[in-house]
Every structure is written in C-alpha cells, then in structure tokens.
C-alpha cells in the first residue's frame, strides 16, 4: 500500500434533514468533508497510509473535523491550527423528484483560505510519501492559497513524489478574486502524473475547444491534447454523467493513458440516489487505488466507477467502504443481503 498526502480545505457541511428545504425545520445535519479529505478517507479505508495537510480553526468546529478524519484512519498531524480562524462551511438542500439539490457556500476568509505557502513545510510533510493529492478547489480560494497549492505540487515533484490532481474547476470562486485560472491550473496540470478532468477542464487550461459530436470523442481528443501539452502527465480519468432525474443518474467512466491505453467502464444506472456529494472524489480514490495496487486499466476504471457509484448510496461527504465492498460490486453486482 502507498503513503498518500492530501492537501486542501476541510469543510463542515450543514444539511437540511432528509429532503427538507434549508431551515424548513430548525435542524441541520453536520458532516465533515472537502474534496481532498474525501479522497483521503476513501484511500484510508482501502488500506493506504493517508495524511492530511491543511489549516483549520482552533476551535470546536476545527476539532470536530479533525476528529472525523482520525476516526476514518487519516493522520492529521500535518494540519495547522489557526487561532481566531474560522471554518469553511457549506449548506446543502438535498433535492427530490423535480427539485434539484442546492449548495450555499460560506467559506470566504476561512483559516485555510488565508494560509500561505510559508505555512507549510513540504519537505517534512511529504517525507516518505508516494503520492500527493490536490484539487483545483484550493487555488480557486485566493491568491495566497493558490501559491501554497503550487508550492505543494513543486515540492512533490522535486522530492520524487507523484502528483494526483483533480481539476474541479469552480468559476465563481475564481471570479470572486479575479484569479488567472488558466495560468495557475496549467502549471498544476504540468506537475501532475494523473489528472481527473474531462474535456471542459482541458478547454479551460489549454484555451481550445473540443467540438466532437460524441462526448467520449471529446474526452479522447482532450486527453491527446493534454498529453501533448504536459510531458509529465501519464493518465487522465473522468466520469460521464447523465442526470435522468434528481435521484436517477446514468454514470460511466473513462481512463486514458499516455501510452495509448483506453479503458471504459460500462454505464451504471444509479437509481434511488441518497447523496451524490463526494461521488467524484470516491471515483478518484478508486482510480488511484487501482493504479497504486497495480490493477490493469480495465480493472482500475471499473473499480473507480463502482466506488463512485457506492458513494451515491451513503449520506455525507465521505465514502467509508472497503476494497472488498467495491470488488463485491464489481464482480457480483448482487443486491440481496450478503450473509
């Protein structure tokens, strides 16, 4: 198994109970989360040695988020505590029937968003690591944390640590501070060994459109352009989602390698969705696990899609399932009680 360091913001999610509207009743369900932390929790449950690097508020909210990570087997010693800081929050209304889910963010000027590159000792934080996982959410939060994310990626490359990067393009976050998303994301892509991105992310980074009629053809063309632009890049993976209704999605996945490898997982029909938040992170963790474990490309993309599919059945941001749970779905797809 591998040693993985995840760098990003820890958030607290405040969700309306069940399918209620936000504050329809005076209650909120609380879950810890965050794109990079979600990946870390999944990898820890798959058996990897996972550590989180971040900054949280030095108060009961930050303590709760760290406690949740530790409960799932993630090492939190690399997380800074910021006195007088605040936790990033988001509020979720889960949709139903023809009403879509809705997220309201409250994360401006959080302890993590105000952190700087000087706050993180990367030679120490990355000691013994095989992989560093990052996402495009972090640099979108502000100029200082964008430089901190770039510093993490550069340090990993300098220390021989492989870099996993999830594009996670968030235009509203970039627009809030006028950040140069194209330039910053382009450098992060250049440091990565694997990116979780589809053709739309590559359009942003490379500034060129992919107008093929078929969505898979667009992804394949984008992957070819990314491999040409970024010599370090070895893999590109993404899902293809068709939302048939709020709680019925069709989800497929594609994994493309620099060497011409192309693996596509059969589409899964996800009916009766409980919670799709974190599904992409669960997919990314599944792909990373397959690569770290030496699965072939077909087995890796099937494992990743099954992991992402399972997340849709679990409330909260985290996907606390084992390798055996995912393999059982990949191999059997049985839905009766396992005894």
What residue has token string 């006195």?
Answer: 83
Spatial separation of the C-alpha atoms in residues 210 and 271, rounded to whole Å: 31
Mean per-residue pLDDT, 276-283: 97
Helix (H) or strand (E) holding 162: strand 162-166
Check residue 332 and give its pLDDT: 61
Is residue 302 assigned to a domain? yes
Return the pLDDT at 67: 98
- In a domain, residue 45? The reply is no
Query: Looking at residue 10, what is its pLDDT?
Result: 98
Q: Residue 224: which residues within 8 A CB-CB, separation 6 or more?
A: none
* pLDDT at res. 172: 87
Element (H, E) at 256: strand 248-257
Instruction: Assess if residue 134 is contained within a domain.
Output: no
What pTM did the predictor assign?
Answer: 0.95
| Confidence check: pLDDT of 336 > 80 | no
What average pLDDT does range 313-325 have in this prediction? Answer: 97
CA atoms within 13 A on the CB side of 128: 7
Q: For residue 336, give its domain range.
A: 234-339
pLDDT at position 333: 52
Instruction: Measure Cα distances from 153 to 184, 189, 217, 299 in Å.
Output: 12, 10, 30, 28
Using alpha carbons, select from 75, 105, 80 the residue that is nearest to residue 90: 105
Answer whether residue 36 shows pLDDT above 90.
yes
Average of per-residue pLDDT across 20-48: 97
Q: What pLDDT, on a 0 to 100 scale, did the predictor assign at position 97?
A: 87
Domain count, the chain: 1
| Distance of alpha carbon 258 from alpha carbon 235, whole angstroms | 6
What average pLDDT score do residues 164-169 get? 95
In a domain, 88, yes or no: no
Alpha-carbon gap, residue 239 to 294, rounded angstroms: 21
Q: Assess if residue 61 is contained within a domain.
A: no
User: Does residue 311 form part of some domain?
Assistant: yes
114-165 residue pLDDT tens: 999 999 999 999 999 999 999 999 999 999 999 999 999 999 999 999 999 9
User: Could you say which DSSP state residue 226 is in?
Assistant: H
pLDDT tens digits for range 185-213: 999 999 999 999 999 999 999 999 999 99
Q: pLDDT per residue over 44-59, tens digit each?
A: 999 999 999 999 999 9
State the Cα–Cα distance between residues 230 and 282, nearest whole angstrom: 25
Number of helices (H) and strands (E) in the chain: give both, helices first.
Answer: 11, 13
- Is residue 86 situated within a structural domain? no
Nearest to 164 by CA among 72, 253, 44, 284: 284
Answer for the pair 75, 51: CB distance below 8 angstroms, yes or no: yes
Express each pLDDT in 232-248 by its tens digit.
999 999 999 999 999 99
The full 3-state SS of 66-111, as one line of letters, equals HHHHHHCCCEEEEEEEECCCCCEEEEEECCECCECCEEEEECCCCC
Domain containing 270 — which CATH number? Answer: 3.40.1190.20
Q: At which residue do the structure tokens 């870099």 appear?
A: 163
SS3 77: strand
Residue 71 lies in a domain: no
Question: pLDDT averaged over the chain?
Answer: 95
Q: How many Cβ atoms sit within 10 Å of the Cβ of residue 246? A: 17
Residue 303 pLDDT exceeds 80: yes
């Amino acid at each position: 198994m591998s040693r993985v360091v995840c760098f990003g913001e820890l958030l607290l999610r405040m969700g309306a109970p069940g399918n209620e509207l936000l504050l329809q009743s005076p209650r909120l369900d609380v879950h810890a989360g965050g794109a990079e932390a979600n990946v870390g929790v999944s990898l820890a449950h798959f058996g990897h040695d996972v550590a989180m690097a971040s900054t949280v508020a030095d108060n009961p909210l930050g303590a709760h988020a760290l406690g949740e990570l530790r409960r799932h087997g993630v090492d939190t010693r690399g997380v800074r505590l910021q006195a007088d800081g605040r936790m990033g929050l988001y509020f979720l209304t889960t949709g139903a029937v023809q009403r879509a889910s809705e997220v309201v963010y409250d994360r401006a000027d959080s302890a993590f968003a105000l952190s700087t590159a000087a706050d993180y000792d990367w030679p120490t934080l990355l000691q013994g690591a095989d992989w560093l996982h990052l996402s495009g959410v972090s640099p979108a939060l502000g100029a200082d944390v964008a430089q901190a994310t770039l510093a993490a990626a550069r340090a990993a490359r300098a220390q021989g640590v492989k870099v996993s990067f999830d594009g996670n393009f968030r235009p509203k976050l970039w627009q809030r501070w006028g950040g140069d998303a194209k330039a910053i994301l382009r450098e992060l892509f250049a440091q990565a060994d694997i990116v979780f991105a589809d053709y739309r992310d590559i359009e942003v980074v490379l500034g060129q459109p992919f107008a093929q009629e078929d969505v898979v053809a667009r992804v394949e063309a984008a992957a070819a352009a990314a491999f040409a632009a970024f010599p370090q890049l070895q893999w590109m993976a993404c899902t293809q989602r068709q939302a048939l209704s709020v709680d019925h999605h069709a989800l497929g996945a594609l994994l493309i390698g620099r060497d011409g490898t192309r693996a596509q997982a059969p589409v899964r029909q996800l009916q009766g969705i409980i919670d799709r938040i974190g599904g992409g992170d669960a997919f990314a963790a599944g792909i990373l696990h397959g690569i770290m474990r030496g699965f072939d490309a077909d087995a890796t993309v099937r494992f990743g899609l099954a992991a992402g599919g399972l997340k849709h059945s679990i409330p909260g941001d985290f996907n606390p399932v084992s390798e055996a749970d995912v393999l059982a779905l990949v191999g059997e797809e049985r839905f009766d009680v396992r005894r």
